[in-house]
Structure 1
Amino acid sequence: MSLRLTPYFVMNGNAQDAIAFYERALGATPLFKQTFGEMPENPDFPLPESAKSLVSHAMIRIGESDIMFSDTFPGQEVKAGNQVTICITLGDAEEAARIFNALAYGGTIEMPLQETFFSSAYGTLTDKFGIPFQIFTEGKM
């Protein structure tokens, strides 16, 4: 049996901005994107005009990992929190610093990137979209 975990980010109307941000910061490759307006129409549930340009489903690839996105449907609530953390594992401290700084732009640094007893470069931050990240450099344990 094959099993794969894929983080799914539910955004508050800014999924397209988040995808573009991760393309720049992490070199992400877009794999799929569909808006609510591109979905088949359902006469029982008419789509508000304000929802047509919102992302109904998207997927990007970063390195060997995929992340999925959608915007909430109008009227649904998004709650940002720290219950999902994305750990980016690298083998190079310089690349870790580049990624850390790119993701920190407009976000909040909880623990600056630094050498620890378990990593040559480790830090935590929450990006400008409220997504918490850990940056971990392998090789010190």
Structure 2
Amino acid sequence: MSISLNPYLFFDGTTREAVDFYKKALVGELVSIMTYGDVPGDPDDPLSIEMKNRIMHAHLKVGDADLMFSDTYDGMPYQPGNSIQLAIHPKEEDVARTIFTELEDGGQVMIPLHKTDFSPLYGMVQDKFGVTFNISVPGNVPQ
């Protein structure tokens, strides 16, 4: 079984500024950045211009480590300083499903596992201790 794990930092509209700050402070290299507007939206629930410009995903390489970032989605709670989640990247979909199921026991599914434009299987779950995990099988990620 092959899994990688990294911190995922969330901000409320200041991700671009945070990425620039951490890139300089940690001598990082920007791997990728995409906005919510960069991916096909739901025609029944169109995004506002502000939401389209928010960062959906940014990836900064710091040495051998991966640091990921995102702006919160409309309506998601945000509290500065308590906005770190863990991203888990199992290579196999069955492993992702098993991890997700174990973490949701006594917790809360925030985004059910599903196929996306950036992953063959992605979901978000908060465990019974209040820790939020992004489960994402690598693949189809724009660089």
- What interval of TM-score do these two structures reach, taking the shorter chain for normalisation? 0.5 to 0.7
What SS class does the counterpart of residue 70 from structure 2 fall into? strand
Q: Does 1:68 align with 2:80?
A: no
Give aligned-pair identity as a percent.
Answer: 36
Task: Describe the shift of the 1:57–1:63 C-alpha distance in structure 2 as closer, same or farther (beyond 3 A).
Answer: same
Give 1:47's aligned amino acid: L
Give 2:19's aligned amino acid: I
Indicate if the aligned counterparts of 2:9 and 2:83 stay in contact, CA closer than 8 A: no
* Larger RCO: 1 or 2 (CA < 8 Å, sep 6+): 2
The Cα of 1:16 is off from its aligned counterpart by 0.4
Task: Describe the shift of the 1:29–1:49 C-alpha distance in structure 2 as closer, same or farther (beyond 3 A).
Answer: same
- Determine which structure has more spread, i.e. the larger CA radius of gyration: 1
May I ask how many residue pairs the two structures share in their alignment?
A: 85
Partner Cα separation in structure 1 for residue 71 and residue 54 of structure 2? 6
Q: Does 1:34 align with 2:64?
A: no
The Cα of 1:80 is off from its aligned counterpart by 3.0
Partner Cα separation in structure 2 for residue 28 and residue 51 of structure 1? 26
Unpaired runs of 5+ in structure 1? 86-141
Task: Describe the shift of the 1:82–1:73 C-alpha distance in structure 2 as closer, same or farther (beyond 3 A).
Answer: closer
The Cα of 1:32 is off from its aligned counterpart by 1.0
Unpaired runs of 5+ in structure 2? 86-143
The Cα of 1:83 is off from its aligned counterpart by 8.4
Partner Cα separation in structure 2 for residue 33 and residue 50 of structure 1? 16
Q: Find the counterpart in structure 2 of residue 58 from structure 1.
A: 58
Partner Cα separation in structure 2 for residue 44 and residue 75 of structure 1? 17
Partner Cα separation in structure 2 for residue 41 and residue 5 of structure 1? 28
Return the TM-score normalized by structure 1. Answer: 0.55
Give 1:20's aligned amino acid: D
